[in-house]
Chain A
């Protein structure tokens, strides 16, 4: 027998919860939705662009009537609920309907606050809340000339901008001396005011409204100081109040909002509440972002799956006024003991301020260039220690790509500008998909447009577009990002559980951590396989079917389905005989193309999969092992000419390169891992853009970590300087093992070092000898199992089914 679930409030929060519930495929409920407005669910945060004629009402509908019908949801619009009877377990509507419920979801939103001054009830005095208000404003703009907006906050300024675009003379009246004082510090506020004035808005600051004058319809606004201005339309945008009237009447416990616990239940366990009507842990949210997480939690609870809890949200804001780029989050006015970093360029109209306390970001205000807003916001929410990159933090994110998509000033770009260089996706495509298909998350945008779904270097740009298109409704990636759609748990949760609870097989991990799918997906299986392998090298048996094809077939799949073969040449050294063998093998298997790789090896392209084992046998017989050029693994050690030949060389750099490669080859890693050794600071082996680089100097060896030369060149950080080759090997093994044990799968050392902080790594690998040696020992233990040449094994018949096609005779 299905239960009745009734949703009061056909808005974003409530319907989002239903969408999450439907995702569970739950058929526990007959669902009825009751909305006071005559429309299906629309995107309320897009009302400003509608008012500014940048979008139409149809553009902002999120769920059409068909959506309700397809999902068997009964939709009642234009009929307000007047009473909830908890005794009868039913709700009553204005038109006299009685609808029984077993579970009730309240999503009644909020009401604009109307200042209680004389005349506030006159015609032409409205709030800015729903489609009806927008229609009233558009109608007024056709007939009248003068508009007054009371309130210089986010909503007020968006209303003022829209009315001005409709041709009205708009005056913004603000009680305080600076605009958006809850989001902006004084300098940013002054810049905003100046640019809005330039656009044509008039401001009256520190003005207290005393009375709305006029007969039936408003004709003016009078102030406390006795002055008066003309007004044909007054928009009150001074704030919102949670709409708790119904709940209060029904005796549900309310304070400022309807009080809910961490599973979004009210004091009546049959009744849930989400969105702006809610008060959770003493917070009421007036923004849309928190409702995504609230909706997920309420839906999980309603579907009786999982035990997720809502723990509150940290919010950020963006102003949706075209041409004005503004971002704000957290505490942006410094208090005693805080530090403020400010970067201001009046000529280009940019202003950036970060408030720092104990090396953590407490707040940020960005004006003119908000590109890095999402990054600062993430650092803030995750409480990242920024000590290691304080010097460069104002210039934005290190590993945010600049290859393949031109200028980073994304909002100023034309629609035709290519954002994702991998998949050829332009700005216009992304913005259209976001608004037409009502996308709210980075994942949504990736799956619909493919932008940033390959190398990911344009992720920051796509996020910036998402944030500017949907404003504060953008569902930022939660600070604890689930590993994939199969689980609620993050990479860190999984890594921790594997160690702590000694989970040693994939089914054990999935069962213990309540995976939603029986055998995972293409994203989590390789990750779990790696984590288990890295943690239990002696016991865990590698699962070939959980490896990406390159690692399963031990070659790089090319776009035509052939493979490439890269034999290992330790330290890049080779002999004439080595090259002769490679040449012979190429002839024998008709290799169509050979080239030298960036890591100083020879790449043989275009090999048929079924030829691989035989080819490997020939190479293996001549002493070659796999180059692992295909894997999330240790790749190559690049070396320079070295002391034997080079007049500048110090130390035996090439020999050290060979030793390092002998130590590390065969090791599986969270991502590809490259090394280099240069014989002098001229650094011909480019060691300072490698995951682990050694620069030999006369007095010893400099060890550099966390560099890469890919999407965004990141120069290494200096780990330390050591005196002997033995130390180089030990530090290298220890650093590598720390990365292997703690980084997220598919996270290279560059972002890993930035995420955990160089000082944390130094404490462990440099300062703590015992820890270093333990890491080194664990690395060597793992290598005992990893340094079995996969090519030789397959040449001898292992996994032959992988390479042998079935043939139908006849």
Chain B
């Protein structure tokens, strides 16, 4: 496993990965002691982070196909908005999202303000 050195900036921001290490239109997974967090990168290099669990049946969203600013869950094709964590279309449900910032090509996540 890759260990990424943790460097706390302002209290709760944590550097997690270099932007270039996330495939465009793809994701990486952060495993913490309590949960998995999916970090997505869009075609236009926006990055979003959310709990790696579909609100429907807890499918791993990180394994889905990313398009626009949404991801389609690999288990039952629910479409989740990356920015809000809300299910799109007629489906209803929401996943926790985390604030993300990119500085000098490094992606940081605010783990407290979800």
A contacts, CB < 8 Å to B:
447-448, 450, 453-454, 517-522, 525-526, 544-546, 548-550, 552-553, 557, 559, 561, 610, 801, 804-810
Contact = CB atoms under 8 A, between A and B. Distances in A.
Interface string B68-100: 100010111101000000000111000000000
Q: How large is the interface on B (under 10, 10 to 19, 20 to 34, 35 or more residues)?
A: 35 or more
24 contacts: A454-B76, A518-B68, A519-B43, A521-B67, A521-B72, A522-B72, A545-B66, A546-B25, A549-B63, A559-B57, A559-B75, A610-B1, A801-B21, A801-B28, A804-B2, A805-B2, A805-B31, A806-B16, A806-B30, A807-B31, A808-B30, A809-B5, A809-B6, A810-B6
A559 B53 CA distance: 12
A549 B14 CA distance: 28
Contacts of B76: 450, 454
Interface string B1-13: 1111110000000
Nearest to A520: B67
A610 B29 CA distance: 11
B63 A557 contact: yes
B93 to A, nearest CB: 13
Given A557-B60, A561-B59, A806-B31, 10 more contacts: A518-B68, A522-B67, A544-B26, A559-B57, A801-B23, A805-B2, A805-B31, A806-B39, A808-B6, A808-B30
Contacts of A453: 77
B55 interface: no
A807 B57 contact: no
A527 to B, nearest CB: 12
> 8 tightest A-B contacts by CB?
A522-B72, A549-B63, A522-B65, A545-B25, A549-B74, A806-B30, A561-B60, A805-B31
B31 A525 contact: no
Contacts of B2: 804-807
Contact of B43 (A518, A805, A809): A518
B65 A526 contact: yes
A519 B25 contact: yes
B30 A548 contact: no
B3 A807 contact: yes
Contacts of A809: 3-6
A549 B68 contact: no
A806 B90 contact: no
Chain B CB within 10 A, most for which of A448, A453, A545, A804: A545
Contacts of A447: 89-91
Counting chain A CB atoms within 10 Å of each CB, which of B57, B66, B74 scores highest?
B74
A545 B71 CA distance: 11
A801 B26 CA distance: 10
Nearest to A444: B90
A544 B67 contact: no
B25 A806 contact: no
Nearest to B29: A805
B102 interface: no
A453 B91 CA distance: 13
A522 B77 contact: yes
